Structure 1
Amino acid sequence: MIDLIERYVTGLPDWAERPLVAVLAAMLGTLIALALHAVLFRVLGRITRASASEADDIVVNRLQRPTRWAFVAVGIVLAARETPALEAIWSRFSGFVMPILTGWIAIAVLHALVEAMIVRADITVENNRNARRRRTRLSIFSRIGTFLIVFLSVAGVLASIPGVREVGVTLMASAGLAALAVGAAAQPALKALIAGFQMAMTEPISIDDVIILDGEWGRIEDIRTTYVVVRLWDDRRLVVPSNRFLEDTFQNWTKTTSQLLGTVFLYLDHGADIAPIREEYTRQITTHRLWDKRAQILQVTDCRDATLEVRLLMSARDGPTLFDLRCEIRESMMEWIRREMPEALARRRELQVAPMELAAAPSMIEAMSATASPANGNGRGSAGAPH
C-alpha cells in the first residue's frame, strides 16, 4: 500500500513529493487504525451488554476514547516504518505524543478500575461501614495515582526537549541548590500528597460519615487530595483542608458504628408523679418505629428551684433517625402530659398576701424603726438606760 502511494506521487517536485507521501501514509495508517478500533469495541460492547455486571461496561466506556488515539498513534508508527518522509516528521513529535497518550491511557485504566470497584461498594445499605471505608480508600488512592501519572507524563514530555533535559542535568550537578529549590517549590504538593496517604491509612473520616465540625452537623460528601467537602444539614457545602482532620479535634458520629444514643429533657413541676410518666414513656418508645431496641430509660437528673429535670434516654440506628425520634417522642410526651397529667406541668409560684396584712405593714415598719432609734442624745436607747 505504501508502494502504491509512492508510485502515485512519483514525478512531483521533491519539495512537494515528500510531504505529500508523509500525509497520505499518515492518513492511510489512521484510517486502518480507526477501523480496527471500531470493530474491536463493537465486539466488546456486545459482550459487555450481554453480561449482568456493570464493571465491564465502565471499563469499556472509559477506555474507548484514549485507546482510539492510541490506535491512531500505532497506525502512524507502522506507516512511518515504511515511509522515510513520515518517519522524519513523526520522530520530531513522538517525544511529546507518546508520553501524553501513555499517561492518558494509564489514567483511564486507573479510573475504570476504581469506578468498577466503587460499584461493588454499595453505601445505600443500612450496615455500610466497610463499603464506606473501601470507597474512601479508592477515592484517595485514585487521586494520588492520577497526580503521580500526570507528574510522570509531564516529566516525560519535558525530558524529550533537549534544552530542558540539559538544564535538568545541570541542575542535578548542583544537587544542593537544586534540592532546596525543588523542595521549596514542591512543599505544598508533597504535603497534600502525604496528607492524602495519611487519610487513606489512618481513616479519621470516610465517605458518608456524620461529623460535627465548628458546631455544624453534616456528612462527608467528597474527599480530595487537599480538601474535604462536607455537606451540611441544610445542603450547604463546607470545604475543609485535609490537614485539619489530621491535626484538629472534631466529632465523628459514625467512626465505628452509626448507632447513637440521644436524650430528651422535660422540665416538670416538683409535685409531678414520675411513675405514670415513666410507664407512658416506656409504652411510647417500645412501640415507636424508629427505636432500635438498644436503650431506653427515664430518670430525674436534676432538681432546680422551679422545676424537676427529667431525662428520657433513647437509641437509634443513625444520627438522622435519632433526631427524628427525639423530636417525635418530645412532642408526644408533652401532649400526653398536657392531656392526662396537667398538674405535672411546671408552674410559677408566688407568695399571696391578704389585704389587711398589706394595710398593717406600714405601721409595723414604723414601730420597728422607733424601737431601733436612739431615745436620747447619748446614743443609748430605752433598753440601754440605767434603772
Structure 2
Amino acid sequence: MSWTDDSSLHVLMAALVAVLLALLVHRVTASVVLRLTRSLPVSNRAAQQCRAPAQLLMPLMALQAVWHAAPDSFSLIAGIRHANGLLLLAALTWLGLRAVRGVAQGIVGLYPVNVDDNLQARRIHTQTRMLARTAMFIIVMAGLALMLMTFPGARQIGASLLASAGVVGLVAGIAARPIFSNLIAGLQIALAQPFRIDDVLIVQGEWGRVEEITGTYVVLKIWDERRLVIPLQWFIENPFQNWTRSSAQIIGTVFLWVDYRMPLAPLREAARLACEAAPEWDQRLCLLQVVDAGERSMQLRVLVTSSNSSLNWDLRCKVREALVDCMQRDWPEHLPLMRAEVGERSGVAAVPGADGA
C-alpha cells in the first residue's frame, strides 16, 4: 500500500488528530495537576519535573494506538511500530527519572540546611540523594533492557552469551565490580549514614566538609578550597573521622609551653576573658590545665568549646593569641628559657677568664 492511497491518508490523518488530542489532554491535565498540588511541595515538584517527559509520552502513546490499529499492508508499518515503541520506552524511562528527581528535590526542599541545628536536615538530604541516584540507576538499566528486548536478534545474542558464559561472565564481573561495589556502598551509606551532606570529616589527614555525594564518589571540600574526590567503596573499607556524627559541637585544644615559675592564675584569667570576649565560644567549657612537665618547662592545655569545628578553630586561635600576648606583656621572664648552672669546685666559683686567658 502506497502513502498516497486513501487508507494511508486516513491513517496519517488519524495519527495527526491523535497527536493534537494528546497534546491538548496533556496541557489540560498538567494545569489541573499543578493547581491541585500547589499546597503539596513534594507532589508539586514531581509534577513540574514530569511535565516535559509527559508532553512527549502522551503523543507517543496515542501514535502507538494508531499504528497498531493500522492495517499490516500500510507501508513500513512494522518499522514504524518498532521505532515508536522504542521512543515510547525512552519517554517512559525519562519520565521515571524526572519523577524520582522531582520527589527527591521536593523532600530536600522541606529540610533546609542553612539553620543552626541542621543534623536532621543533613540526614534527610543524604538518604534522599543516595536513594534517588540508586533508583535512577535501576530505572535506566530497566529501560535499556526493555528496549533491547524489542529486537528479535536480542534472543540470539543472549543465547550466544550463555554459550560462552564462563569467559564472558568472568570478564563482565571483573569489569563491573567497581560499579556494583560503589552502588552497594551507596546503599549502605544511605541507610547506615556514617556521614551526611555537610558533615566534617578527616580523611587521610585532610579536614573538610562533605560537599557532594554521587553514585560513585564523594566530594570533600577542604578548608583551603581544594576538593578531595573519594570513591564510595573507600569509606566502607577504611576508617575515617566524623566530627559531626551526632552533633556539631566540639571541644578544641590550645597547647602552650611556659617556664615552671609562671603562675597559672593569670593565664586562667586571660583564657577566661578571651573566651568571654569571643562570639565563637558557646559557654560550655573553658579550662586550663598542666598536662606535661618536661625537663625545662611545663606544657599547658586549654580546652574550649564551640557549636561547630569552624568556629572552634577561630576560637582556639584567639585564645592562643591572648595567652601569648598576656605573657609577653606581663610575664616575659617566664617564657620558656634555656638555663645554665655555674658550679663550684673546692669552694672556688668558676669565674670567666680566671685561667689568665
Query: TM-score when scaled to structure 2?
Result: 0.86
The residue that corresponds to 2:346 in the other structure is: none
* 1:248-268 per-position Cα deviation (integer Å, ceiling 9, x unaligned): 122111122211111112222
Q: Aligned pair 1:232/2:222, yes or no? A: yes
Structure 1 residues 284, 177: closer, same or farther in 2, change over 3 A?
Answer: closer
Q: Does residue 1:146 correspond to 2:136, yes or no? A: yes
Q: What is the match of residue 378 of structure 1? A: none
Give the Cα separation in 2 of the matches to 1:288 and 1:154: 59
Point out the more displaced range, 297-306 or 211-220.
297-306
2:13 paired residue among 24, 30, 37: 24
CA separation in 1, counterparts of 2:62 and 2:89? Answer: 17
Cα distance in 2, alignment partners of residues 14 and 246 from structure 1: 63
Q: Any conservation in 1 of the 2:61–2:88 contact (CA below 8 Å)?
A: no
- Supply the distance in 2 between the matched residues of 1:118 and 1:124 (Cα, whole angstroms): 12
Partner of 1:188: 178
> Using the alignment, how far apart are the partners of 2:26 and 2:14 within structure 1?
18
Mapped partners of 2:352, 2:334: distance in 1 = 32
Please tell me whether residue 358 in structure 1 is matched to residue 339 in structure 2.
Answer: no
Helix, strand or coil at the partner of 1:264: strand
* Within-5 A mapping of 1:54-93: 54-80=41-67, 83-84=70-71, 85=74, 88=78, 90-93=80-83
1:174 and 1:280 map into 2 onto residues whose CA distance is: 78
Q: Report if the CA contact (8 A) 1:265-1:312 is conserved.
A: yes
Aligned partners of 2:90 and 2:143 also within 8 Å: yes
1:323 alignment partner AA: W
Relative to structure 1, the CA distance from residue 341 to residue 102 in structure 2 (aligned partners, 3 Å threshold; closer, same or farther) is same
- Residue matched to 1:265: 255
Shift of residue 211, structure 1, vs aligned partner: 0.8
Which consecutive residues of structure 1, in runs of 5 or more, have no partner in the other structure? 1-12, 364-387
Is the CA contact (8 Å cut-off) linking 1:259 and 1:315 kept in structure 2?
A: yes
Q: Distance in 1 between matches of 2:166 and 2:332?
A: 83
Q: What letter matches 1:134 in structure 2?
A: I
Higher CA-based Rg: 1
Structure 1 residues 185 and 265: alpha-carbon distance in aligned structure 2, compared to 1, 3 A threshold: closer
Summarize the Cα distance change of 1:185–1:162 in structure 2 as closer, same or farther, 3 Å threshold. Answer: farther
Aligned-partner Cα distance in 2 for 1:280–1:234: 30
Question: Could you give the per-residue CA deviations for residues 240-295 of structure 1, whole angstroms, max 9, x where no partner exists?
Answer: 11111111122111122211111112222332111222123233324532222222
Q: Given the superposition, is the C-alpha separation of residues 357 and 75 from structure 1 closer, same or farther in structure 2, using an over 3 Å criterion?
A: same
- SS of match in other structure, 1:228: strand
CA contact (8 A) 2:46 2:100 kept: no
**Deviation, structure 1 residue 213:** 1.3
Partner SS state of residue 352, structure 2: helix
- 1:114 is aligned to 2:104: yes
Distance 1:312 1:167, change over 3 A: same
Mapped to 2, the partners of 1:231 and 1:271 lie a distance apart of 45
Q: Kindly indicate which of the two structures has a greater share of residues assigned to helix.
A: 1
The answer for unaligned runs of 5 or more in structure 2 is 344-349
**3-state DSSP class of the match of 1:289?**
coil
Tell me how far apart the structure 2 counterparts of residues 64 and 170 of structure 1 sit (CA, whole Å): 41
Return the letter of the residue paired with 1:310: L
Partner of 1:37: 26
Q: How many residues align?
A: 348
Q: Name the SS for the 1:310 alignment partner.
A: strand
In the aligned structure 2, how far is the partner of 1:59 from the partner of 1:71? Answer: 17
- Say if 2:288 and 2:301, in contact at 8 Å, map to a contact too: yes
Give deviations 1:346-369, integer Å, cap 9, x for gaps.
Answer: 34445689xx93332258xxxxxx
| TM-score, length-scaled by structure 1 | 0.80
Superposition pairs of residues 138-287 of structure 1, within 5 angstroms: 138-172=128-162, 179-180=169-170, 182-287=172-277
Assess if the C-alpha contact under 8 Å between 1:158 and 1:165 holds in 2: no
Mean Cα deviation higher: 63-72 or 302-311: 302-311
Q: Given residue 63 of structure 2, which amino acid in structure 1 is its aligned partner?
A: I
Partner Cα separation in structure 1 for residue 351 and residue 169 of structure 2: 94
